[in-house]
């Protein structure tokens, strides 16, 4: 079997195991929708300025939660599940076989990205049905490229983070403590009111903010192709940093 | 490579200031079941993980099937099977799916049917891993290690934490593997396990090999002194001088050590019958592997005394 075939086989087995845990699979998909419903219920009657137009906040949340879905499925879920697998000895066990290490990680990353893609489809369909969020058509290429760049970069960051997480018990806390503040500050959970506020300047350092802007552009950009190359560049740079950090920090064995 | 499976010379490994392995030399022949026996913390796992390619060594020469394991050569990894000390298997796949997953990693895998047969999991083929008992999961560990039909198998403490029945089952699996002609490198802290399974045993203590040989002759066990013990009633006649010179007496209990048990027993029982002396609780004991082991590893083996262990072959009741 070629190495690529081995990698694709890993995706299949990862997927099979994923669906065998229905509670985990259900909440992976229910979680973002739950946030979408809650946020639109709380703030949906408002309007928000996007690219010079006022749109309903509930429509805004469709793009925001699509971005959130991708971050959750890649960064959050990947980091937590890989640390669990590491601490359970599954990574070490695999390391003792002829399977190349990258093929194992390829399986997990590609599976995470497939879940992210499915989540975006669900959120977009839900948004189109209930919150007047037109599906991107003119900006579809930008939409797909933004998702791909974001999913890849946040996967790399999630993988890099596993190297800093001491054990499985600490994984959810560490992962959420990093991402939750950024989700609040980065135009995802709450629309930014004052673009000049100090916290926006802070948020701009991190990829979450740029990802939310790129996703919104791909969704709502009134003219043009919806590409936000500056934002994509920042996300991509963070992705490269993630890959380099993962190479240095990632371990196949539990940390003691 | 003639018939050598593993060759270790002057192996050393430290963790910080702690020297875990302090200069080990070992040779394991192809087709041999070899046990590295020692108490916890003696350096067993460090040694086996260096052989498996998980740890780098600080010094020494190591050859596994002609490869240097620290290079992590893929060809070597396709020829060895590894059972780690703790299980690590995805809980949501079935037994057959798990074996199938690992089979795909190897160029010449064994069939799933054969594997479940060898490890005794045929009835559990379609059971998910999370529904297996601890002993069954451990057997699945062995099954995965067999997926690539390896020439050499590493088993790191394969039965630690097992109940006696599960241990017997695991031992049978190792016997089956030996019959298939596999070379097996086993670590254990149970002497009975080493005695039952291995053709060659090396005892490791404090990072050094303190004895090596077949279980029957380990540590000079075959030539070591036999112990004769018995009780003498108070006020009876004294032992003859020839015996008294070699006897230790405390509170009526007499202990004799002898290199010639036949002659000593003849002298002793002859004297007893002549004088009408009853030798209460007469017991003749050859040193068991456990005696040798406790002797070699010092007090470090004490901790193991609390662990459950089934009957020890060759061990005599002592008073």
Which DSSP string do the residues of A208-220 spell out, in sequence order? HHHHHHHHHHHHH
- Residue B275: per-residue pLDDT: 87
Structure tokens at B175: 């016997």
Q: How confident is the model at residue A45 (pLDDT cuts 50, 70, 90)?
A: confident
B21 vs chain A: nearest CA distance in angstroms?
20
Q: Residue A157 above 60 pLDDT?
A: yes
Q: Most B CBs within 10 Å: which of A9, A17, A111, as the mutation test of the B interface?
A: A17
- ipTM for this prediction: 0.89
B78 touches chain A (CB under 8 A): yes
Whether residue B299 lies inside any domain: the answer is no
Return the minimum-mean-pLDDT range out of A204-208, B151-155, B281-285. B281-285
Q: What percent of chain A has pLDDT over 90?
A: 84
Residue after which a domain boundary falls, among B202, B220, B238: B220
Q: Which among A6, A9, A89 has CB closest to B84? A: A89
User: Which whole number is the average pLDDT over B72-96?
Assistant: 93
Q: How confident is the model at residue B292 (pLDDT cuts 50, 70, 90)?
A: confident
Q: Residue B290 above 80 pLDDT?
A: no
Q: Most A CBs within 10 Å: which of B71, B83, B101, as the mutation test of the A interface?
A: B101
User: Which whole number is the average pLDDT over A113-121?
Assistant: 96
Residue B17: CB atoms within 10 A of its CB come to 5
**Residue A214 vs residue B219, higher pLDDT:** A214
| Cβ–Cβ gap B105/A20 under 8 Å | no
| Cβ–Cβ gap B97/A1 under 8 Å | no
Indicate if B51 and B144 belong to the same structural domain. yes
Instruction: Convert chain B into a string of H (helix), E (strand) and C (coil).
Output: CCCEEEEEEEEEEEECCEEEEEEEEEEEECCCEEEEECCCCCCHHHHHHHHHCCCCCCEEEEEECCECHHHCCHHHHHHEEEECCCCCCCCCCEHHHHHHHHHCCCCCCCCHHHHHHHHCCHHHCCCEHHHCCHHHHHHHHHHHHHCCCCCEEEEECCCCCCCHHHHHHHHHHHHHHHHCCCEEEEEECCHHHHHHHCCEEEEEECCEEEEEECCCCHHHCCCCCEEEEEECCCCCCCCCHHHHCCEEEECCEEEEEECCHHHHHHHHHHHHHHHCCCCEEEEEECCCHHHHHHHHHHHHHHHHHHCCCCCCCCCCCCC
Indicate if B249 and B177 belong to the same structural domain. no
Indicate if B198 and B80 belong to the same structural domain. yes
Indicate if B248 and B195 belong to the same structural domain. no
pTM as predicted? 0.84
| Cβ–Cβ gap B92/A20 under 8 Å | yes
B272 touches chain A (CB under 8 A): no
Whether residue A51 lies inside any domain: the answer is yes
- Residue A41: per-residue pLDDT: 92
Q: How confident is the model at residue A2 (pLDDT cuts 50, 70, 90)?
A: confident
Residues B124-133: tens digit of each pLDDT: 999 999 999 8
Indicate if B9 and B74 belong to the same structural domain. yes
Q: Report the number of distinct structural domains present in chain A.
A: 1
Residues B160-174: tens digit of each pLDDT: 877 888 888 889 989
B84 vs chain A: nearest CA distance in angstroms?
7
Indicate if B236 and B150 belong to the same structural domain. no
Q: Report the number of distinct structural domains present in chain B.
A: 2
Indicate if B10 and B156 belong to the same structural domain. yes
- Residue A132: per-residue pLDDT: 86
Query: Highest mean pLDDT: which of B12-26, B242-256, B300-314?
Result: B12-26
Q: Residue B183 above 90 pLDDT?
A: yes
User: Which whole number is the average pLDDT over A3-26?
Assistant: 94
Q: Write out chain A residues lying below 8 Å of B104, CB-based.
A: 1, 6, 9
Indicate if B75 and B175 belong to the same structural domain. yes
Structure tokens at B219: 């540590």
Q: Give the nearest chain B residue to A87 (CA atoms).
A: B88
Indicate if B73 and B28 belong to the same structural domain. yes
Per-residue b or e along B141-175, where b marks 16 or more CB atoms closer than 10 Å to that residue's CB: bbbbbbbbbbbbbbbbbbbbebeeebbebbbebbe
Q: Most B CBs within 10 Å: which of A96, A101, A252, as the mutation test of the B interface?
A: A96
- Residue B88: per-residue pLDDT: 86
Residues A231-241: tens digit of each pLDDT: 999 999 999 99
Average model confidence (pLDDT) across chain A: 94
Spatial contact of B160 and B85, defined as CB atoms under 8 Å apart? yes
Whether residue A255 lies inside any domain: the answer is no
Whether residue B294 lies inside any domain: the answer is no
B87 vs chain A: nearest CA distance in angstroms?
7
Q: Which among B74, B82, B92 has CB closest to A21? A: B92
Whether residue B264 lies inside any domain: the answer is yes
User: Which whole number is the average pLDDT over A182-203?
Assistant: 93
Q: Residue B143 above 80 pLDDT?
A: yes
B92 touches chain A (CB under 8 A): yes
User: Which whole number is the average pLDDT over A125-137?
Assistant: 90
Q: Residue A196 above 70 pLDDT?
A: yes
Q: Residue A31 above 80 pLDDT?
A: yes
Spatial contact of B65 and B154, defined as CB atoms under 8 Å apart? no
Structure tokens at B24: 């080990």
Indicate if B130 and B245 belong to the same structural domain. no
Indicate if B215 and B247 belong to the same structural domain. no
Q: Which among B54, B87, B104 has CB closest to A6? A: B104
**Residue B184 vs residue B302, higher pLDDT:** B184
Say whether A50 sits in a helix, a strand or coil.
Answer: strand
Segments forming the whole domain that contains residue A119:
3-249
- Residue A44: per-residue pLDDT: 81
B74 touches chain A (CB under 8 A): yes
Segments forming the whole domain that contains residue B37:
4-220
- Residue A38: per-residue pLDDT: 94
Query: Highest mean pLDDT: which of A36-45, B47-56, B248-257?
Result: B47-56
Residues 6+ apart with CB under 8 A from B270: none
- Residue B302: per-residue pLDDT: 43
B102 touches chain A (CB under 8 A): yes
| Cβ–Cβ gap A98/B148 under 8 Å | yes
Average model confidence (pLDDT) across chain B: 86
Q: Residue B220 above 80 pLDDT?
A: no
Q: What percent of chain A has pLDDT over 70?
A: 100
Q: Residue B305 above 80 pLDDT?
A: no
| Cβ–Cβ gap A88/B53 under 8 Å | no
Whether residue B311 lies inside any domain: the answer is no
């Amino acid at each position: 079997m070629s190495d690529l075939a081995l990698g694709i086989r890993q995706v299949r087995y990862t997927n099979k195991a994923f669906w065998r845990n229905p509670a985990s699979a259900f909440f992976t998909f229910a979680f973002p929708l739950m946030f979408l419903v809650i946020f639109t219920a709380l703030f949906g009657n408002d309007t928000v300025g996007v690219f010079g137009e006022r749109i309903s906040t509930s429509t805004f949340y469709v793009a925001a939660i699509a971005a959130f879905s991708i971050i959750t499925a890649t960064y959050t879920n990947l980091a937590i599940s890989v640390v669990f697998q590491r601490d359970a000895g599954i990574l070490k066990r695999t390391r003792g076989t002829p399977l190349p290490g990258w093929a194992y990680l390829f399986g997990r990353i590609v599976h995470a990205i497939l879940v992210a893609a499915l989540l975006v489809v669900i959120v977009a369909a839900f948004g189109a049905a209930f919150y007047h969020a037109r599906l991107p058509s003119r900006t579809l290429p930008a939409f797909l490229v933004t998702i791909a760049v974001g999913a890849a970069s946040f996967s790399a960051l999630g993988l890099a983070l596993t190297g800093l997480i001491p054990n499985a018990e600490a994984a959810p806390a560490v992962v959420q403590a990093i991402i939750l503040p950024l989700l609040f500050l980065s135009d995802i959970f709450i629309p930014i009111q004052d673009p000049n506020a100090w916290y926006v300047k802070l948020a701009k350092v991190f990829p979450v903010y740029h990802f939310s802007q790129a996703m919104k552009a791909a969704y709502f950009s009134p003219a043009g192709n919806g590409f936000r190359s500056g934002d994509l560049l920042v996300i991509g740079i963070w992705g490269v940093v993630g890959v380099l950090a993962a190479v240095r920090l990632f371990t196949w064995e539990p940390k003691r | 490579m003639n018939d050598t499976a593993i060759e270790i010379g002057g192996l050393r490994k430290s963790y910080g200031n702690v020297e875990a392995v302090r200069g080990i030399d070992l040779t394991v022949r192809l087709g041999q079941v070899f046990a590295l026996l020692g108490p916890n913390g003696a350096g067993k796992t460090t040694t086996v993980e260096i052989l498996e390619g998980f740890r780098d060594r600080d010094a020494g020469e190591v050859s596994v099937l002609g490869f240097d394991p620290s290079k992590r050569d893929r060809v070597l990894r396709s020829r060895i099977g590894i059972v780690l000390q703790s299980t690590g298997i995805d809980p949501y796949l079935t037994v057959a799916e798990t074996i199938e997953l690992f089979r795909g990693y190897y160029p010449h895998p064994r069939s799933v049917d054969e594997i479940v047969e060898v490890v005794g999991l045929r009835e559990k083929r379609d059971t998910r891993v999370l529904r297996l008992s601890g002993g069954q999961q451990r057997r699945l560990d062995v099954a995965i290690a067999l997926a690539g039909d390896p020439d050499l198998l590493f088993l790191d403490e394969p039965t630690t934490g097992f109940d006696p029945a599960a241990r017997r089952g695991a031992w049978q699996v190792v016997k089956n593997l030996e019959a298939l002609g596999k070379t097996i490198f086993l670590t254990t802290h149970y002497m009975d396990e080493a005695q039952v399974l291995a053709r060659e045993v090396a005892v490791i203590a404090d990072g050094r090999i303190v004895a090596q040989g077949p279980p029957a002759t380990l540590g000079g066990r075959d030539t070591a002194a036999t112990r004769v013990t018995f009780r003498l009633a108070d006020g009876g006649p004294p032992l003859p001088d020839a015996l008294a010179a070699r006897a230790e007496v405390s509170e009526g209990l007499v202990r004799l050590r002898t290199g010639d048990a036949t002659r000593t027993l003849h002298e002793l029982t002859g004297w007893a019958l002549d004088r009408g002396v009853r030798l209460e609780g007469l017991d003749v004991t050859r040193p068991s592997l456990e005696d040798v082991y406790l002797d070699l590893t010092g007090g470090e083996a004490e901790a193991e005394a609390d662990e459950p262990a089934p009957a020890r072959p060759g061990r005599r009741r002592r008073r």
